[in-house]
Amino acid sequence: MNEFELIARLTKSLPTNENVLAGTGDDCAVLDFGGDKLFLFKTDAIVEGIHFTKETPPEKIGHKALARCLSDIAAMAGTPSAALVTIGLSKNFDAEFIAKIYDGMSAVAKKFNVAIVGGETTTNPERIFISITLLGTVARGKQILRGGAKIGDAIFVTGELGGSIAEKHLDFEPRIAEANWLAEHFAIHAMIDLSDGLAGDLRHILNASNVGAEILKSAIPISREAKLAAKKSSTAKPAFVAALTDGEDFELLFTIASKDAVKLLDGWKKKFPKLRLSCIGKIVSGDSITIRDKSGSHKFNAHGYVHFA
């Protein structure tokens, strides 16, 4: 049983109430307590040996712990507000090392005007784990979910993909500003952040929207790191496959009506000239991902990162 099969089993009969607009199955829960804003509620965890190593600089561990949740708030076009931190430590922990983890969290929190308002410390044998709970807001009616993609939509992705293990996964920039700009100026139909790889996260949009996708191979923005890794080792993934499956890119993947694509690209270049934006394909009928290249269209069956797989 992999991660998503387990999630489906555990969440199929969870209780809900009248305040929940969106619960499990999206980047954040969306809660309605009245007023002109909705609340976004998110939790995420990182674990030593899975998301970072003993050699990782502690400030970067702290950055990653909080920035992962910030990326999910971005995927809903929200604004982060306040965080709680739960940290599990072995009995022989290094207090200075842990303090530097919090320095890293504090730095990214200040950058995005997030208050760290408390949390919990506990004993955990052998390794560090950090769990963040983050609260944010979004204007009523402006939240962007995964399930709104429509046949004919253009599919866009920010940045470059693949090779995140070469440090990007530790110091990425959550796309809060970019997502808010998108929501303010365009009707974005569906959006997600790329934490598990484009192939896996695109499938979340497709499954939630009951559609398929056709991707143009030559349009995928492959990172320099992914290309170098493929050249250095004959056993490494091909750069194109790495771009679709490596995960931890933390870029935005979204769909928009094709008639708005040119206007979006023009506006983006003026607003975010240093950040690449690529149209990589379109939403189609069906339920699968096909890759189109010079030789035709081929079904793509690979997935991104999946825990327990």
The CATH classification number of 16-139 equals 3.30.1330.10
Determine the 3-state secondary structure of 121 from DSSP.
strand
Q: Tell me what pLDDT residue 278 has.
A: 98
Q: Please, are residues 293 and 221 in contact by the beta-carbon 8 Å criterion?
A: no
Rounded-to-integer distance, Cα 76 and Cα 186, Å: 14
Q: Tell me what pLDDT residue 8 has.
A: 83
Question: The domain 154-299 belongs to what CATH superfamily?
Answer: PurM-like C-terminal domain (3.90.650.10)
Paired with 213 in beta bridges are 283, 289
pLDDT tens digits for 229-275? 998 877 778 999 999 999 999 999 999 999 999 999 999 999 999 99
Q: Tell me what pLDDT residue 10 has.
A: 85
pTM: 0.94
Q: Please, are residues 78 and 40 in contact by the beta-carbon 8 Å criterion?
A: yes
Point out the residues of the chain with pLDDT beneath 70: 304-309
Task: Render 78-89 in DSSP notation, one character per residue.
Answer: -EEEEEEEEEEE
Q: Tell me what pLDDT residue 24 has.
A: 85
Q: Tell me what pLDDT residue 167 has.
A: 85
Rounded-to-integer distance, Cα 183 and Cα 7, Å: 29
Q: What ranges do the domains of the chain cover?
A: 16-139, 154-299
Determine the 3-state secondary structure of 111 from DSSP.
helix
Question: Closest by alpha carbon to 204, among 1, 10, 8?
Answer: 8
Determine the 3-state secondary structure of 161 from DSSP.
strand
- Residues comprising the chain, all counted: 309
Paired with 88 in beta bridges are 122, 129
Determine the 3-state secondary structure of 258 from DSSP.
helix
**C-alpha to C-alpha distances, 299 to 206, 245, 289, nearest whole angstrom:** 14, 15, 6
Tokens of 194: 């790329």
Q: Tell me what pLDDT residue 306 has.
A: 67
Question: Closest by alpha carbon to 299, among 238, 213, 223?
Answer: 213
